Chains A and B, each alone.
Chain A
Amino acid sequence: MQSENSSVNTEAKKIQTSKVPPSEGFREAFLLHLADTTLILTQRNGAWCGHGPILEQDIAITNITLDLIGQSRNFYQYAAKLINESSLAPSPVEKAGDEATEDSLAYLRTEREFKNLLLVEQENGDWAQTIVRQFLFSVYQYFLFEQLQNSKDDQLAAIAAKSLKEVTYHVSWSADWVIRLGDGTDESNERMQKAIAALWPYTGEMFMQADYEQGIISEIHLLKDRWIEKVKTVFEEATLAIPENIFMQSGGKNGVHTEKLGHILAEMQYLQRTNLGAKW
């Protein structure tokens, strides 16, 4: 999972020995978790641009991806505001030499600092795998934002309410494809079942509460019940089976990732890290 080089260990130590009491940075951490998750899925889905199976679906997946980067920016901007207002001084601020911005948070944080879900960093694979990843994630996001739109934090509630409309469409689009491919030909069904087997171990993490989610997501078990109910309904219609007794991977929420994230960040952050502040 985590490569054992020295710089990574220093990062890890820095997080652990932070003088800030943990609860103080909870809201910032939660926002970064939301922002990182949507950003990494954006980066993954973005690779389909110009390569979609047909023109219309190329546009569809790119549209969804644009929604996701919009959400991600909202979360980063809000997180940056809170970080600058608080006494917290996370590493991007030190590195960039001035205030945290949406860009410094996206481009100058390391693998251990990224709090995205493991599910979204998994490979695109074939169209089936991309569809399954999008569906499992969008259904989760739907029920999550449904809760968050009632948050006491007005700004977070507003972002969630706005995003919920977008996500509603993502769910309907991806569910439609799950049914088409699952209930399609022998080959499409087989590919879908393979994609589900590959991604299912990364779904458990969505419902394992991280420290910083306490007090913000009040009923994570409810989230899980609703998620599994929706997934079951769609899978049944698609004649797809849900894997049973699978060991669930976790760690993404706390910065412990699969080996894939390092490669994503290397590609995504390269330009900003070699030419700090570069614009286009």
Chain B
Amino acid sequence: MKISIQKYYYGDFGGEEKASGEEIKKTTEETAWPLWEIFIRSKQGLDHKHAGSLHAADAAMAMQNARDVYTRRQEGVSLWVVESKYIHASNPDEAGEMYEPAVDKVYRHPTFYEIPDEVGHM
């Protein structure tokens, strides 16, 4: 005689897998527009800085969305958009060997001479 035991949770109508939210997560990932990272140059002569991210179907739409979401308070004069999947980030777990060796090497900082005012932003 075969006995199968099914556990039910509160609000659960489709077995454990469904109740875990895995299925919902999957469909959102499949249907949502890709994520884009937005970089804004706040004025001429300055670098583009990361401002945030947003969803868009393609680069043209990402550009328009970035204009509407991130530059409505005169934040910028130029925009870059990059699909987030093309950004490769360093691993936080490797932060020790990556960055800490630089901590005690103060002589590498360009702080031992004065920059003339005329140079402006560097």
Interface residues of A (CB under 8 A from B): 54-57, 59-60, 63, 169, 172-173, 176, 180
Quick one: closest A residue to B58, CB to CB? Answer: A180
Q: Which residues of B contact A172 (CB under 8 A)?
A: 64
Q: Beyond A56-B65, A60-B65, A63-B72: 18 further Cβ-contacts under 8 Å?
A: A54-B33, A55-B54, A55-B55, A56-B54, A56-B55, A56-B68, A56-B69, A57-B65, A59-B65, A59-B72, A60-B64, A63-B68, A169-B67, A172-B64, A173-B64, A176-B60, A176-B61, A176-B64
Distance of A56 Cα from B63 Cα, bound (Å): 11
Contact of B57 among A63, A169, A180 (CB under 8 A): A180
* Number of chain B residues close to chain A: CB under 8 A: 13
Quick one: closest B residue to A62, CB to CB? Answer: B68
Contact of A60 among B33, B57, B68 (CB under 8 A): B68
Say how far A241's CB is from chain B's closest CB, in angstroms. 24
Say how far B117's CB is from chain A's closest CB, in angstroms. 35
Q: Is B56 an interface residue (CB 8 A)?
A: yes
Distance of A54 Cα from B31 Cα, bound (Å): 12
Distance of A173 Cα from B56 Cα, bound (Å): 14
Contact of B55 among A54, A169, A180 (CB under 8 A): A54
Quick one: closest B residue to A57, CB to CB? Answer: B65
Distance of A63 Cα from B69 Cα, bound (Å): 9
Distance of A278 Cα from B64 Cα, bound (Å): 38
Say how far B35's CB is from chain A's closest CB, in angstroms. 11
Q: Which residues of A contact B69 (CB under 8 A)?
A: 56, 59
Q: Which residues of A contact B33 (CB under 8 A)?
A: 54
Q: Which 5 A-B pairs have the closest CB atoms?
A: A56-B65, A60-B68, A59-B68, A63-B68, A56-B54
Q: Which residues of A contact B72 (CB under 8 A)?
A: 59, 63
Q: Which residues of B contact A56 (CB under 8 A)?
A: 54-56, 65, 68-69
Quick one: closest A residue to B67, CB to CB? Answer: A169
Say how far B70's CB is from chain A's closest CB, in angstroms. 10
Interface 1/0 per residue, B39-68 and A, CB below 8 Å: 000000000000000111100110011011
Distance of A149 Cα from B11 Cα, bound (Å): 62
Q: Which residues of B contact A59 (CB under 8 A)?
A: 65, 68-69, 72
Say how far B34's CB is from chain A's closest CB, in angstroms. 12
Distance of A180 Cα from B56 Cα, bound (Å): 12
Say how far A60's CB is from chain B's closest CB, in angstroms. 4
Distance of A172 Cα from B63 Cα, bound (Å): 12
Which of B54, B56, B68 has the most C-beta atoms of chain A within 10 angstroms of its own C-beta? B68
Say how far B20's CB is from chain A's closest CB, in angstroms. 26
Distance of A60 Cα from B57 Cα, bound (Å): 15
Q: Which residues of B contact A180 (CB under 8 A)?
A: 57, 61
Distance of A260 Cα from B9 Cα, bound (Å): 49
Distance of A57 Cα from B64 Cα, bound (Å): 9
